[in-house]
Structure 1
């Protein structure tokens, strides 16, 4: 689709945060809709809750507008348009489709997407059939040719050190214990040697969404997963990062079952599990210390979901020869 570039809103000096009027003017040249419910010309617009700096807006009931707030974000959004086209044929779930894209201010990109209908993983539990949807998504990501993704500008990301992450998590667990938020004894099941065993082995890099939060999974009331949003942070790297994202978003049992259905063995599943558990400890501790402005209830929920017990960790004895990828 050719770019649509309406006149940007007036911005004296530096670019201000987008306002409802600026957004309405922007989309007014793109969509032909009746006046919004507020009586103003053009479609009704309202910011999406949690959209940083009012960068994400609902436009009527069928579209969502996402605005880049700096040039680095603009580059990611332009890359995302191409990446979504690349991954769409490989996935059994929907990927947003752009109906218009361009610049809302000099050097700052926007994309106007159709809404993928459904709720979020925070609103609906994922069913057994939904786990199969997630498995298909993980399989599809692995099947995307890495060379094609790299040609689009998708960066490579080195795997994180689970040993270093564990050490930080131990400190965070102590902070959370003092606040009566977590029992640090739970970390005893993850000794230093286990972190060494779960290190990534060479040759396992795949396309990783790298942002599988509950808000980015479109889940229907019946538990089916119908779409995956927000592809700007995608990398070529460790598939356990997406397993970790799912563990915090839908719970560790569902995440590991989905990864197993996708053909991943014990090592990447357990690595993803412990990435999620350590990450959720760090995030909640940072929020309690005022270093993370995310609201506490969602962080507590993510921690609880990541720390749900799974059978795999009770019955698996990892050995050096275990495969890191299917």
Structure 2
């Protein structure tokens, strides 16, 4: 059988500069000064390397644009799908999504997108204010209102919900090892007995459009705490809304995430499911990093663990039942 072509090496600054110079056409503009090395064309700086499993190479282009290049064909498919999905969700959301300036192929079969920068910092740099929590609530509401059938026609995949029972079992095993390493108190998982994991199973018919990557780096947050944009829609799926609640718990803390989800109309069950997805996930990620199986920086992973394990009153006052979670406890009391 013929071998698949080897993926190209990471793009160099010269490769990126030549590409964007042909796209911007204007040459140097007020937001695109000459390169720091004195060469003509916009200044280009790498943001990060492609993530394992098909992320993308990301470069700042001057001060007004960002360029993303797919490192493999699977990532190229997601990048092309993202362009169409952003147009679909833009009208539903109260926060900005990146606007494309140009797209095409930077190598055979490998897509690039040149987008305008959404101004602001990140949730890693700025705390989200109470008004910012309302912005997050609008984000979750807007995602739920995106027509699933339209998203499916764009190629957004349907993903089955994860088993919280299986995730809990792995977290219990991991918590013991982290306890031995003085990284975590395993007693915290006593709040989450096996029957709770069963009760927090996904209810039928609850699938919605899920961003599936609401990390602190993907939330554009201003210094005043308002959430003004959401980046990187390449991992979006149709699935469990608790996954986005979990992402917010890790990015901005469990109390803020649950308050935002409650404002968006989610009851106790999806809120608590998201909370425990986040808590179990952060335990497993930290353990993997300590074992050398994850390249995530330990300080950041410890910070994320702390955010996910912030206490909320909802988990203390809610008694889950097997029926649907009607109004499920007044969650305006989600204070730590």
- TM-score, normalised relative to structure 1: 0.94
Match for residue 261 of structure 1? 263
Provide Cα deviations, 1:266-286, integer angstroms capped at 9, x if missing partner: 000000000000000000000
Question: 1:79 Cα deviation (Å)?
Answer: 0.2
Query: What is the CA–CA distance in structure 1 between the aligned matches of 2:245 and 2:265, rounded to whole Å?
Result: 12
| Deviation sequence 1:268-314 (CA, Å, 0-9, x none) | 00000000000000000000001111111111111000000001001
Asked if 1 retains the 8 angstrom alpha-carbon contact of 2:48 and 2:57, the reply is: no
Mark the CA change 1:67 to 1:313 in structure 2 (over 3 Å): closer, same or farther: same
1:30 shift after superposition: 1.1
Q: Is the deviation greater in 45-54 or in 151-160?
A: 45-54
SS in 2 for 1:90: coil
Mapped pair 1:153 → 2:165? no
Instruction: Find the counterpart in structure 2 of residue 244 from structure 1.
Output: 246
Classify the secondary structure of the residue corresponding to 1:218: strand
The CA distance in 2 between the partners of 1:95 and 1:170, in whole Å, is: 38
**1:135-174 equivalence runs, <5 A:** 135-174=137-176
- 1:18 partnered with 2:11: yes
The 5-angstrom pairing of residues 104-119 of structure 1 reads 104-119=106-121
Deviations 1:177-200 (A, max 9, x none): 111110000000000000000000
- The secondary structure found in structure 2 opposite 1:259 is helix
What's the CA shift string for 1:56-109, capped at 9, x where partnerless? 000000100000000000000000000000000000000000100000000000
* Structure 2 residue aligned with 1:6: none
User: Which residue matches 1:59?
Assistant: 61
Match of 2:304 in 1: 302
1:127 and 2:136 aligned:
no
Instruction: Indicate which of 23, 45, 56 corresponds to 1:30.
Output: 23
1:288 maps to 290
Q: How many pairs align? A: 315
Give the alignment's TM-score, normalised by structure 2.
Answer: 0.91
* 1:324 Cα offset (Å): 8.3
Alignment deviations for residues 4-56 of structure 1 (CA, whole Å, 9 cap, x no partner):
xxxxxxxx975111111111111110122142232111100011046548700
C-alpha distance in 2 between matches for 1:167 and 1:113: 42
Mark the CA change 1:280 to 1:43 in structure 2 (over 3 Å): closer, same or farther.
same
Taking the aligned partners of 1:207 and 1:44, their CA distance within structure 2 comes to 36
**Matches of 2:49 and 2:225, distance apart in 1:** 24
Contact 2:7 2:71 in 1 (8 A): no
Q: CA–CA distance in 2 between the matches of 1:266 and 1:52?
A: 34
Measured on the aligned residues, the alpha-carbon RMSD in Å equals: 1.6
Aligned to 2:43: 44
- In 2, Cα distance between equivalents of 1:75 and 1:81: 10
Counterpart contact for 1:268–1:325, Cα < 8 Å: no
